[in-house]
A and B are shown apart, each in its own frame.
Chain A
Amino acid sequence: MKSIDIERLAERMSLSLEKNEAKELCKDLAEMLALCGPVLEGTPAPFEPLFALPCPTALREDTEKPSFSTDEALLNAPQKKDGMIRVPKTVE
């Protein structure tokens, strides 16, 4: 089994991990891989993959209905200004 590239996974999951924490999590992931061995290493079941249980048609009428006000939507924003969420700069 290849060693786990914990730094790459953490980057993908937007997690800034300390070195010791990353080492511990790497060990935990290895244990989880061992726990999942029966599926990871076993013969694939001769079935099509199931991603969601059968459900009725999800569509509803396309009618306009009341929604959240700006104030309600911003209720929990960590930082806000002029009716908008203040976010870190993303554009150079």
Chain B
Amino acid sequence: MNEFEKTAPALTDKENEASEKNEIFDKCLASTKAHCNSGAYLYYTEKPRKTDGKSAVSGDIIGVKDNISVKDMPLTCGSKILDGYMASYDATAVKRLKEAGAVIFGKLNLDEFAMGSSGLLSAYKPVKNPFCEDRMSGGSSSGSAVAVCNGSVTAALGTDTGGSIRVPAALCGVVGFKPSYGAVSRYGLTAHASSLDTVGVLAKSVEKCAAVTDVISGKDELDGTTADIALHCLKNLKNGIAGKKVCFLKDATNCDFVSDEVRSRVLSTCSVFEKLGAEVFFDTFGEFRKCVADYYIIASAEASSCLARFDGIKYGHRENGQTVDEVYGNSRANGLGKEVKRRVLFGSLMLSEEYYEKGFINAARHRRAVIDKLNGLFSKYDLLITPTVPTVAPKTSDSARMLDIFTYPANLAGLPAISVPLKVKGLPIGLQLLGRRFADSEVLSAGEAIEKAEVNTDA
């Protein structure tokens, strides 16, 4: 029994009868146990609950990042401050998957409160890169990427605030899709930065990402930021890329901290795009460095507010104190990890009188400038291409600070973006494709075309 199994309520007799032999589930469970030292899992069930739904995800075994609520499963957000917390409801994305016949297998490890890109910042255990244990798995959806890579799940839900689906997908050699902001309900997602957070999917194939996205997306009256738009991801998946204008962003591919192996492998896909019938262009975005600043200022400011609720009073870890302020202060100081403290303090600094105008407001102005710039590019091109991450997986002793530099713009502008693994002999390399907001099916179909072409590529 895994360490959290004992905290989950036992199945009722009726549920025991209803749970059935499921070959796919058995395979996933076996893989999970074989990779029990990967650090990917915080909780999993050994008894699949029977589901009746019939859809493209029927029978799929789904892992859920542990900042997304699954009823009767723990919800820790990778933090000690929520140690022992049991979720009492399903997130909308989870509810829709269950109704569609998917089986929710377990909760996947993450960098604490989705803050981090290394996979090393969970309060419970670090997540190991499946290809090389002394390399980062990437984060913050580290467990999601590793569980998919290991075959423990058919697909996994992750979240992406600044690249947290795409970065671990790239470093672990799987597909990671971040839908448009507003496409998928955030009801049941523990907020990190509400204007940037997106629920998305990781899987071994673009097709599975498309199938899961179709199920979890759509208007939700419990999340006022969701759009009433049907994405039709599976229906449009085979549209391909012929006739599309794809633009490689030169200031990403030619950037001096992009490694030679990533640069050459990404640029080698130009000929693939052309063979598939796309027109290939090169242009400049020019805002990547400032996007790093925008992200840290905006995300930290929002996080300082979103995480204010974790005070040890209504739920979570509570420490003693002589006064209520001491209870708050001790509970948060001992319950929150270093990176979380760093970010909420920085966020508070950005909202302080000294920095509010030149920090938070300027970042918000520049965010609109970024959207304007991207709209300008999308008036000429259909898809923008960059490496997902500047290098292959860094060593665990290195810094992860600039891993997300190419992924931030999609979050700032609410765009759909996918990381597709390229065929390589060594450590994985991901190719990132970005599309217009709500053109999710176009991004997925382009990703699928590249994925299929890669099968025939010599690595």
Please report A residues at the B interface, Cβ cutoff 8 Å.
2, 4, 6, 9-10, 12-17, 25, 28-29, 32-33, 35-42, 44-53, 55-60, 68, 72, 75-79, 85, 87-90
Nearest-CB distance from B248 to chain A (Å)?
23
Partner of B324, one of A17, A40, A47, A88: A88
User: Is B224 touching A13 in the complex (CB atoms < 8 A)?
Assistant: no
A9 CA / B358 CA spacing, docked (Å): 18
Further contacts, 19 of them, CB under 8 A, given A53-B225, A76-B315: A2-B354, A9-B348, A9-B349, A16-B333, A25-B342, A32-B300, A36-B297, A38-B290, A38-B292, A39-B297, A46-B369, A47-B369, A49-B365, A52-B195, A53-B437, A60-B221, A76-B85, A85-B313, A89-B324
Closest residue to B304 on the A side, CB-wise?
A: A13
**A–B pairs, 18, beta carbons within 8 Å:** A13-B344, A15-B336, A29-B346, A32-B300, A33-B349, A36-B359, A39-B362, A40-B293, A42-B362, A44-B358, A47-B365, A48-B365, A49-B364, A49-B368, A58-B225, A85-B314, A88-B321, A88-B327
B330 at the interface (CB under 8 A from A): yes
A9 CA / B300 CA spacing, docked (Å): 13
User: Is A39 touching B363 in the complex (CB atoms < 8 A)?
Assistant: yes
Nearest-CB distance from B345 to chain A (Å)?
5
Partner of A78, one of B308, B315, B342: B315
For A40, A45, A47, A78, which residue has the most chain B Cβ atoms within 10 angstroms?
A45
Please report B residues at the A interface, Cβ cutoff 8 Å.
84-86, 88-89, 181-182, 195, 221, 224-228, 289-290, 292-294, 296-297, 300, 304, 308, 311-318, 321, 323-330, 332-333, 336, 338, 341-342, 344-346, 348-349, 352, 354-355, 358-359, 361-369, 371-372, 401, 413-414, 437
Q: Which residues of A contact B88 (CB under 8 A)?
A: 68, 72, 75-76
User: Is A77 touching B362 in the complex (CB atoms < 8 A)?
Assistant: no
User: Is A77 touching B315 in the complex (CB atoms < 8 A)?
Assistant: yes
A55 CA / B259 CA spacing, docked (Å): 38
Partner of B367, one of A6, A25, A50, A56: A50
A16 CA / B352 CA spacing, docked (Å): 19
Nearest-CB distance from B166 to chain A (Å)?
18
A38 CA / B311 CA spacing, docked (Å): 34
Closest residue to B229 on the A side, CB-wise?
A: A56
Q: Which residues of A contact B225 (CB under 8 A)?
A: 52-53, 55, 58
A35 CA / B292 CA spacing, docked (Å): 8
Q: Which residues of B contact A16 (CB under 8 A)?
A: 326, 329-330, 332-333
A16 CA / B314 CA spacing, docked (Å): 19
A78 CA / B227 CA spacing, docked (Å): 37
Given known A-B contacts A15-B336, A49-B365, A76-B316, A35 and B296 have beta carbons under 8 A apart: yes
Q: Which residues of A contact B182 (CB under 8 A)?
A: 53, 55
Partner of B345, one of A29, A36, A37, A59: A29
A19 CA / B306 CA spacing, docked (Å): 26
Q: Which residues of B contact A25 (CB under 8 A)?
A: 338, 341-342, 345
Partner of A40, one of B226, B358, B369: B358
Partner of B368, one of A10, A37, A48, A58: A48
